[in-house]
Amino acid sequence: MTHSTADVVICGAGIAGVSAAYHLAVRQGVKNVVLVDERSPLTLTSDKSSECYRNWWPGPGDAMVSFMNRSIDILEELARESGNIFNMNRRGYLWATADPARIEDFKRTAEESSSLGAGPIRYHTGQPNEPAYIPASAEGFENRPTGADIILDPALIRQHFPYLSEQTVGLLHARRCGWLSAQQYGMYMLERAQANGVELISARIGGGVDVSGNRVRAVRLSNGNGSEIISTPNFVNAAGPLAKQVGQMIGLDLPVFCELHSKVAINDHLEIVPRDAPMVIWADPTCLSWSEEERTALTESEETNWLLDEFPVGVHTRPEGAGDSPIILVVWAYHIEPVEEPTFPLRACFLKTAEVFCEIFSSEFASIMTLTCS
């Protein structure tokens, strides 16, 4: 057993732990920071994300909008100082509906987010004297509108978003939103943290955390070569989906739970979704349009009869990759039952999401799509 000391021990080298290490060592000048992970950095959840950000959140209260505005300020600072090495864009999130009744929801939620500090709302209904709609640029994030555009003018919808269903009647385009390469962002922070003295240790915090007098005293590590104790007064729990289990090591029962979220990557070889599209979110529930023959066949088995049900709102998609990449990502928070004890690797549950997504955008596309899982 070896002994060492540290000012701070961080459990977990996902984006949260790496960011904590960066901010402690680089921004705050803390000298002796140790980052511990049993996996390679950024490989459990942080490289599976759809890598998007938004300041567009509902209430109650302005906590999320304020928190995200501050986080996006920091992201932009890091993008500027690094020459935008992690390709941060500001294409926005585009909610779309084919249901005229939902337009009131768009207006209500937009007024709410705007009043909480997310920026102004611009209406585009086809009336004279309205502000011009400024389309998003594919790259970069500087000097772009904030707030949101609510687009109800059918001609404007067709002009800028011809790839959406012809039944689309309303759009909400939230603007201080977009995506980046989370992997490159994380590696940028990790390399800078290491250059400022952060030590990355490949081990599991498996032996527990010593606590006495209501203070953390030491952290017990194990790896293939044996075990190690690091004496420290400060412990950061950045264990992601394992945060509850790690919290128990210091006697805390954190009020958190896990949900399974899936992401599919589809080869959009028919080029249904343009490469400069924003994050598109279909805001209506959806039913698949099966033939009578298909319906009969699907009804016969419990494994397939769910395909006849109505599917929930909120399928997300965006283009992924540079240049002429044909890939689009699809994300749907579909299986939202809490998972008691997360285990890895997760069970794949992607097909449902992909099929419904494809039906929304093009049934022809659905019939010849290829599906890969990530």
Reduced to 3 states (helix: H, G, I; strand: E, B; else coil), residue 174 is strand
Residues ≥6 apart with Cβ < 8 Å to 182: 15, 42, 46, 47, 49, 51, 86
Q: How far apart are CA 216 and CA 211, in angstroms?
A: 4
Does 328 bind ligand FAD (CB under 6 A)? Our answer is no
The CB-of-192 to ligand FAD minimum distance in angstroms stands at 17
Asked if residue 11 lies in contact with residue 206, where contact means CB atoms within 8 angstroms, the answer is no
Q: How far apart are CA 18 and CA 46, in angstroms?
A: 11
Which residue among 119, 147, 178, 240 contacts ligand FAD (CB under 6 A)?
A: 240
Q: How far apart are CA 127 and CA 17, in angstroms?
A: 50
- Within positions 186 to 225, which residues make up the interface with ligand FAD, using CB under 6 A? 204-205
The CB-of-320 to ligand FAD minimum distance in angstroms stands at 12
Does 44 bind ligand FAD (CB under 6 A)? Our answer is yes
The CB-of-329 to ligand FAD minimum distance in angstroms stands at 9
The CB-of-16 to ligand FAD minimum distance in angstroms stands at 3
Does 78 bind ligand FAD (CB under 6 A)? Our answer is no
Per-residue interface string for the shown chain with ligand FAD, residues 119-138, x marking contact by CB under 6 A: --------------------
Residue 342 backbone dihedrals phi, psi, to 5 degrees: -65, 135
Does 335 bind ligand FAD (CB under 6 A)? Our answer is no
Which residue among 10, 15, 193, 230 contacts ligand FAD (CB under 6 A)?
A: 15
Reduced to 3 states (helix: H, G, I; strand: E, B; else coil), residue 307 is helix
Does 239 bind ligand FAD (CB under 6 A)? Our answer is yes
- The DSSP result for 78-136, as a single string, is HHHHTTSTT------EEEEES-TTHHHHHHHHHHHHIIIII--EEEESS-TTPPPP-PP
Which residue among 92, 119, 170, 241 contacts ligand FAD (CB under 6 A)?
A: 241
Does 87 bind ligand FAD (CB under 6 A)? Our answer is no
Strand partners, 231: 5, 218
Does 331 bind ligand FAD (CB under 6 A)? Our answer is yes
Does 360 bind ligand FAD (CB under 6 A)? Our answer is no
* Alpha-carbon separation of residue 169 from 125, 218, 265, 309 (angstroms): 11, 59, 28, 24
Nearest alpha carbon to residue 171 among 136, 222, 202? 136
User: Which of 160/220 has CB closer to ligand FAD?
Assistant: 220
Which residue among 49, 181, 183, 222 contacts ligand FAD (CB under 6 A)?
A: 49
Does 55 bind ligand FAD (CB under 6 A)? Our answer is no
Asked if residue 125 lies in contact with residue 152, where contact means CB atoms within 8 angstroms, the answer is yes
Does 319 bind ligand FAD (CB under 6 A)? Our answer is no
Structural element, H or E, at residue 75: helix 63-81
Does 266 bind ligand FAD (CB under 6 A)? Our answer is no
Does 352 bind ligand FAD (CB under 6 A)? Our answer is no
- Piece of 40-48, 92-100, 131-139, 156-164 that binds ligand FAD (CB under 6 A): 40-48
Q: What is the CA radius of gyration of the chain?
A: 23
Does 45 bind ligand FAD (CB under 6 A)? Our answer is yes
Q: How many residues bind ligand FAD (CB under 6 A)?
A: 32
Sites of contact with ligand FAD (CB under 6 A):
11-17, 36-39, 44-46, 48-53, 204-205, 238-242, 246, 261-263, 331
